[in-house]
Amino acid sequence: MPLYTELRSPNVHEPKTIGEYADTVINYSGSATSIWAGGTYIMSRPDFYPSAATNVEIINLKDIEELYRIQRNDRFSEIGAMVSLNDIALLGNNIFPRSLIQAIESTACRMMRERISIGGTLCLKGLNSPLSSVLVLLDTAVEVVIPKRRNFTRRWMHVSRLYDKNGKFILNTVFPNALVSKIRIIIQDFDFEYFSTAGKPVCNPDEAVSLAVVSKLDQNGLTSPRAIITIPSMGYAYSKDIDTLLESMPLPANENSTKELFKNIMAYISDNLGPITPIQEARLNGMMKDMVLSLNQNILSL
Ligand SMILES: Cc1cc2nc3c(=O)[nH]c(=O)nc-3n(C[C@H](O)[C@H](O)[C@H](O)COP(=O)(O)OP(=O)(O)OC[C@H]3O[C@@H](n4cnc5c(N)ncnc54)[C@H](O)[C@@H]3O)c2cc1C
């Protein structure tokens, strides 16, 4: 008896345009469809293929030329969803915020980053990548293609709208079969940027955590700071309350105010995401101290 008697090979569709993509998902609206970008996350999932659960219509985006386009001016860069992380790092090394380049360089290894697409990074289900969190922090916009009967529409939205308030990916719940087609990264400067990540989000999500902070800075302290904490297996902590705590922190900060900040952030995470593991807590505590140290050094050198 063959090993996989119950299984058939999935159909693989290779649309050449966004219009063909929309036609395919409309034609197969009765079946489960799965978008395939770089394939790195899909292929690393347990039981991906062959498996009864994955007998779906696969739509490979590799031939859609529009998704590889890059456009730049002095205010922003628009980048197609199939552009690889390595190409984005190359394009943005001197123009994009440092935290974004650091988040890219901390993702997987160089060889994998050659395959990993920015669209796939934003649309992971069940995992929050530190890179997608940094894009939320930087007010990135995404263009989303929404297939309709015999047609499709395009809509720009803030990247955070791909997720619920705690970072769970919800785009396909709101718009079934929607496709992220491009992102728009604003060219902007910050006086203070911090990014740190620890652990392996895919292989060991319960041990991984990351922190990113961006802000203007003057002698009185941080102005309009924004912070985001990523717990890959649970979501992200991103709230006005955390930003207000940072803004009201007297600088240079002492040990007590750093402890107070950490205590409040842990309370926010526990209330909104749930309990994190002791190793994630210890790592986040270390990052907070490191971030405050770097902040103090910056304020003293003004
Ligand atoms: C060894 C290894 C190490 C890794 N290390 C890291 C790491 O350090 N940090 C990290 O964050 N991740 C890591 N990853 C996870 C993952 O590969 C990447 O996060 C990556 O984002 C996936 O991109 P992709 O282009 O390969 O997407 P795919 O795997 O093709 O797709 C990912 C998901 O997004 C959907 N999708 C893809 N493109 C679109 C689009 N344009 N519109 C709508 N939906 C879309 C797909 O249907 C799928 O559900 C690792 C993976 C492996 C195998």
Chain segment 132-163, per-residue pLDDT in tens: 999 999 999 999 999 988 789 999 999 999 99
36 in contact with ligand 1, CB cutoff 6 A:
yes
> What pLDDT score does 1 carry?
46
- Residues 77 and 98: their CA atoms lie apart, in Å, by 15
CB 180, CB 123: distance < 8 Å: yes
Q: What is the mean pLDDT of residues 199-223?
A: 93
Distance 133 CA to ligand 1 centre (A): 14
**pLDDT (0 to 100) of residue 44:** 80
Where does residue 139 fall: left (phi above 0), alpha (psi -120 to 50 degrees), or beta otherwise?
A: left
With 0-12 / 13-18 / 19 or more C-beta atoms within 10 angstroms meaning exposed / middle / buried, residue 250 is exposed
Q: Which atom of ligand 1 is nearest to the CA of 130?
A: 11
Taking only the tens place, the pLDDT of each residue in 54-76 is 657 889 999 999 999 999 999 99
- Amino acid 150: pLDDT: 77
d(CA 276, CA 121): 23
pLDDT of 25 higher than 80: yes
Q: Which residues of 190-219 are buried (b: 16+ CB within 10 A; e: fewer)?
A: bebbbbbbbbebbeebebbbbbbbbbebee
- pLDDT grade, residue 6 (50/70/90)? low
> Would you place residue 112 in the very low, low, confident or very high pLDDT band (cuts 50, 70, 90)?
very high
Domain boundaries 192-300, corresponding CATH code: 3.30.390.50
Q: Is the per-residue pLDDT at 8 higher than 70?
A: no
pLDDT of residue 56: 73
CA-CA distances (angstroms) from residue 204 to 47, 277, 282?
Answer: 18, 12, 16
Gap from CA of 4 to ligand 1 centroid (Å): 27
Ligand 1 site, residue 81, Cβ cutoff 6 A: yes
Per DSSP, 190 falls in state -
| Digit-coded pLDDT (tens) for 270-293 | 999 999 999 999 999 999 999 999
Q: What are the extents of the domains in the chain?
A: 12-60, 65-186, 192-300
What distances in angstroms separate CA 184 from CA 44, 47, 78, 159, 226, one per listed residue?
Answer: 28, 35, 4, 9, 19
Terminal C-alpha separation, the chain: 74
User: Is ligand 1 within 6 A of the CB of residue 204?
Assistant: no
Residue nearest (by alpha carbon) to ligand 1 atom 46: 35
State the residue for tokens 């770097």: 294
Q: Is the CB of 119 under 6 A from ligand 1?
A: yes
294 lines ligand 1 (CB under 6 A): no
Coil/strand/helix, residue 1: coil
Say yes or no: domain 65-186 is CATH 3.40.50.300: no
The lowest-confidence range among 52-61, 211-220, 249-258 is 52-61
Per-residue confidence (pLDDT) for residue 103, from 0 to 100:
98
* 217 C-beta closer than 6 A to ligand 1: no
Beta carbon of 148 within 6 Å of any ligand 1 atom: no
The stretch 70-95 carries a mean pLDDT of 95
CA of 170 to the centre of ligand 1 (A): 16
